[in-house]
């Protein structure tokens, strides 16, 4: 399975395809090209965190058609850095799939715990990291992956539609870091609910994935030959126009919504498929 997005779309494509089955073992998207032009930077992923790749390898084996729903290893490391830099006490993820990004968040939290940078785990068993996932089958896989990685005491996944889960959070619940990576049609609503319900703690950050949507959200999202729908991962080469129902359109609307919102400020980091950081203006 090859994904040659890098050359066509001009991306720094770090979502190489695992194929050996060994955690951390990845092959480049285009071995010929990378042999000719070796990547001139240090390893994208800290080798001491390579064990997290076991989740990616497993997803590639068990859900090959959905594999590209995962954030990339570099993005995973970016999440880890956010957690270890900002030391959030409570984290929320919206859209978990098999728990790959969740594992990066949890590993960051684990490091903060070990260094005494966050309070010890609550005696009542409460988890510092909460994640929402719609698909019950994925919830089972996430639980298994969290147990395998010994992260199950840190992160708990709740099954159900994220909008309802957000509405059901107890009044006063707040998170220092919220990562949004579920259905793109829900982004504006999740963002608005977070602000309306004051779910973001003072000084907190919202991170949103896929805000470049594979180069399809620039300007007026010009016609493309390839349409990406993140919910089904459908690649439809016959499409000349992006449909108003598809993910690039939703992300375009979301980016515009956030850019025009005087309550917040944002920064789009062009890591993999775009990661937007949002904070409330003080
Ligand atoms: C892009 S994947 C998440 C990938 C994950 N963050 C990672 O990188 O490891 C999006 C996930 O959101 C879930 N999802 C879609 N619609 C949802 C909804 N309305 N509520 C909760 N989860 C939803 C999908 O089932 C899918 O597992």
Q: What is the mean pLDDT of the chain?
A: 82
Token duo for residue 57: 């390898």
Q: Are 103 and 146 in contact (CB under 8 A)?
A: yes
Instruction: Annotate 69-128 with DSSP letters as a single string.
Output: GSPPHHHHHHHHHHHHHH--SSEEEE--TTTHHHHHHHHHHHHHHHTT-SPPPPTT---S
Domain boundaries, the chain: 60-280
Q: Are 76 and 100 in contact (CB under 8 A)?
A: yes
pLDDT in tens, 179-237: 999 999 999 999 999 999 999 999 999 999 999 887 766 544 444 444 444 433 333 44
pLDDT in tens, 229-274: 443 333 344 343 445 556 788 888 899 999 999 999 999 999 988 9
Q: How far is the CA of 282 from the centre of ligand 1 (A)?
A: 30
Q: How far is the CA of 107 from the centre of ligand 1 (A)?
A: 20
Question: Looking at domain 60-280, which CATH architecture does it have?
Answer: 3-Layer(aba) Sandwich (3.40)
Kindly give the number of the ligand 1 atom that is closest to the alpha carbon of 71: 8
Say what the pLDDT of residue 244 is. 56
Report how far residue 41's alpha carbon sits from residue 5's, in angstroms, rounded to the nearest whole number.
20
Say what the pLDDT of residue 60 is. 92
Neighbours of 203 (CB within 10 A): 11
pLDDT band at 27 (very low <50, low <70, confident <90, very high): very low
Q: How far is the CA of 143 from the centre of ligand 1 (A)?
A: 15
Kindly give the number of the ligand 1 atom that is closest to the alpha carbon of 179: 6
Q: How far is the CA of 198 from the centre of ligand 1 (A)?
A: 22
Lining residues, ligand 1, CB within 6 Å: 69-71, 95-97, 100-101, 132-135, 138, 161-162, 181-183, 186, 230
ipTM: 0.99
Residue to mutate (ligand 1; options 73, 101, 133; most atoms within 8 A of CB): 133
């Amino acid at each position: 399975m090859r994904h040659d997005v890098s050359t066509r779309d001009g991306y720094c494509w770090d979502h190489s395809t695992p194929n050996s089955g060994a955690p951390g073992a990845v092959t480049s998207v285009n071995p010929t090209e990378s042999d000719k032009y070796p990547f001139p930077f240090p390893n994208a992923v800290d080798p001491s965190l390579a064990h997290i790749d076991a989740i990616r390898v497993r997803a590639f084996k068990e859900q090959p058609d959905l594999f590209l729903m995962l954030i990339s290893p570099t993005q995973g490391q970016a999440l880890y850095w956010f957690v270890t830099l900002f030391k959030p006490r409570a984290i929320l993820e919206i859209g978990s799939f098999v728990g790959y990004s969740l594992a990066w968040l949890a590993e960051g939290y684990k490091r903060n715990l070990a260094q005494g940078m966050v309070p010890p785990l609550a005696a009542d068993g409460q988890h510092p990291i909460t994640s929402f996932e719609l698909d019950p089958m994925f919830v089972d896989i996430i639980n298994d992956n969290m147990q395998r990685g010994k992260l199950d005491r840190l992160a708990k996944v709740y099954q159900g539609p994220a909008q309802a889960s957000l509405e059901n959070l107890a009044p006063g619940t707040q998170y220092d870091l919220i990562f949004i990576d579920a259905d793109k049609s829900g982004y504006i609503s999740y963002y608005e609910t977070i602000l309306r319900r004051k779910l973001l703690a003072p000084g907190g950050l919202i991170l949103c994935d896929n805000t470049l949507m594979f180069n399809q959200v620039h300007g007026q999202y010009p016609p493309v030959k390839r349409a990406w729908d993140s919910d089904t991962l459908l690649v439809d080469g016959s499409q000349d126009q992006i449909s108003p129902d598809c993910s690039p359109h939703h992300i375009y609307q979301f980016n515009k919504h956030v850019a025009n919102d005087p309550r917040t400020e944002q920064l789009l980091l062009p890591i993999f498929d775009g990661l937007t950081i949002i904070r409330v203006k003080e």
